[in-house]
Amino acid sequence: MDSKKRTFIQAAAAFLQNAHITGFFTGKIYDGAGKNICVPGLNCYSCPGALSACPIGSLQNAVTAWKFKFPCYVLGLMIFFGAAFGRLICGFLCPFGFLQDLLFKVPVPKKLRSFRGDAQLRYLKYTVLFIMVLILPFAHKFTPVYCKYLCPSGTLSGILLSAADSRLRSLFGWIFTWKAVVLTAVVLTSMAVFRPFCKYLCPLGAFYALFNRVSAVRLKVDGEKCVRCGVCARVCDMAVNPVISPNHPECIRCGQCVRCCPHEAIGFTFASKPIRVKALAENQKKPK
């Protein structure tokens, strides 16, 4: 699949999840039956176009309820999505991921593929998942901590709502100002760094990353075709080496390595046996 087809799928997914077009003009949130269904990607419940609910927001609503009930439906859906696709959802179906992809296309003087501290910062999203999405909301009733204090997708939704209904602007306070700063930082950074929110802060990406090595849809590397030329590692914007770790937790399965492999050694597979990456890694060290 070429990059244009992937972009089309991303655009279609973003549109289908936000097809309540009148909401962008009236400033009214859709509150129909669809809001009981969780979409797989990060798409704020409060977006004026949203037809369904965000899994992270739904999970927080469940754990912040006055009378706690285990969120079987929401967590079950998230586990299903993760077990079936892993972070392919990030690469193809997440509207906020698509927005970052578009921002990365903006020409800037220098694109940063990696930098000092990059690897360590990638663990931050797991902290956000466990602390801001699970622990703090459970401890503070009626307070979806992540949505309230951090989520840039929610901030963008608030801006879109206020654009349609100016009366909402009077409700903005210091929390919205803080979140606007976060959103601005994400937008500006996305022009130079590929998907910084996905890499460092997204709790949904962190959740799906836990399934990348075991999900039904995975990447495979044909050890007989692979000549260890390193092209796949150089083109990966997530800084993953598919030869060593084709199903690395950071891989969003965008297919860039599949498209660029000159020997067609990399491809997608469905529920097949994991590739023996240890043997491939050892072969990579040997001279050609």
Q: How confident is the model at residue 68, as a pLDDT?
A: 67
Any residues with CB less than 8 A from the CB of 149 and at least 6 apart, and which?
132, 175, 178, 179
Q: How confident is the model at residue 1, as a pLDDT?
A: 66
Q: How confident is the model at residue 19, as a pLDDT?
A: 95
Question: Which domains occur in the chain, in start order?
Answer: 3-209 (no CATH), 217-285 (3.30.70.20)
Q: pLDDT averaged over consecutive 10-residue blocks of the chain (288 residues)?
A: 88 96 92 92 94 93 74 92 96 96 95 90 96 86 88 93 84 90 97 97 97 93 92 94 93 94 92 49 46
Q: How confident is the model at residue 270, as a pLDDT?
A: 85
Any residues with CB less than 8 A from the CB of 94 and at least 6 apart, and which?
13, 40, 41, 42, 43, 198, 204
Q: How confident is the model at residue 62, as a pLDDT?
A: 81
Q: How confident is the model at residue 274, as a pLDDT?
A: 45
- What's the rounded Cα separation, in Å, for the pair 25 and 29? 11
